[in-house]
Structure 1
């Protein structure tokens, strides 16, 4: 089971959505109504995270990557 984030779809201008999590199977279709209130909802796509592994450790001071040395990250 995967945990998905959903948000309510505001019915009025200026109204803020509320966010909540629901566990569903990965192959389940996204919900369109809140299971308790019946309000219209949509699934929120988040950036997530990934696990990177390398046999050779990355040296952040080498200057070879984007965030090393004087790279784009500072």
Structure 2
């Protein structure tokens, strides 16, 4: 299953955005809330290229926050 990048939607001015990588099926609807914390999320689209047997991807830097323990398929960035 692919891993998709999500970020939190701040509920207050000045609140830091957290980034998450969450494993989902390609047929799953995008998440609107984190499955364990309930934080409001939006899907972040990153560009990637695959060719010649290798791949590279653009990724966002980590910006804090803990997550999951792995039960939701989430990998904190």
When the two structures are superposed, what TM-score results if normalisation uses the length of structure 2?
0.61
- Long gaps (5+) in structure 1: 54-74
Corresponding residue for residue 66 of structure 1: none
Higher relative contact order (CA 8 A, sep 6+): 2
- Long gaps (5+) in structure 2: 54-77
Structure 1 runs of 4+ aligned residues shifted over 6 Å read none
In structure 2, what is the Cα distance between the partners aligned to 1:3 and 1:37? 18
In structure 2, what is the Cα distance between the partners aligned to 1:13 and 1:46? 25
Q: Let me know the Cα RMSD of the aligned residues.
A: 1.6
In structure 2, what is the Cα distance between the partners aligned to 1:14 and 1:51? 40
Structure possessing the higher radius of gyration over alpha carbons = 1
Q: Give the drift of 1:52.
A: 5.5
Corresponding residue for residue 45 of structure 1: 45
CA deviation profile, 1:33-74 (whole Å, cap 9, x unmatched): 111111110111001223169xxxxxxxxxxxxxxxxxxxxx
How many residues were matched structurally? 53
When the two structures are superposed, what TM-score results if normalisation uses the length of structure 1?
0.64
